[in-house]
Amino acid sequence: MKRSVGLWCWRGLIVALYAFLLAPLVVVLVVSFDTRPYLRFPPEHLSLGSYVAVLHNTAFLHAGLLSILVGGAAALVSLAVGTAAAFALGGKAFPGRAVVQAVLFSPMVVPHIVLAVGLMMTLQPFGLLDTLSGLVIAHVGITLPYVVRIVLSGLKSLDPACEEAARLHGATPWQAFWRVTLPGLRMTLLAAGLIAFLFSFDEAVIVLFIAGHRATTLPLAIYHYIQFRTDPQVAALSVLVVLASMIPVVIIERGINIRRALAG
CB 255 within 8 A of CB 191: yes
pLDDT, mean over the chain: 83
- Determine the number of helices (DSSP H) and then strands (DSSP E) in the chain: 14, 0
134/140 Cα distance (integer angstroms):
10
CB 116 within 8 A of CB 169: no
Q: What is the pTM of this model?
A: 0.83
pLDDT in tens, 84-128: 888 888 777 778 778 888 888 888 888 888 899 999 999 998 988
β partners of residue 46: 34
pLDDT in tens, 47-73: 888 888 888 999 999 999 999 999 999
23/30 Cα distance (integer angstroms):
11
Burial (CB < 10 A; 0-12, 13-18, 19+), residue 38, is exposed
| Number of residues written out for the chain | 264
Question: Which pLDDT score is estimated for 76?
Answer: 94
pLDDT in tens, 215-247: 889 999 988 888 888 888 888 888 888 888 888
Q: Where are the alpha helices (DSSP H) in 125-217?
A: 132-157, 160-168, 173-176, 182-184, 186-202, 205-210
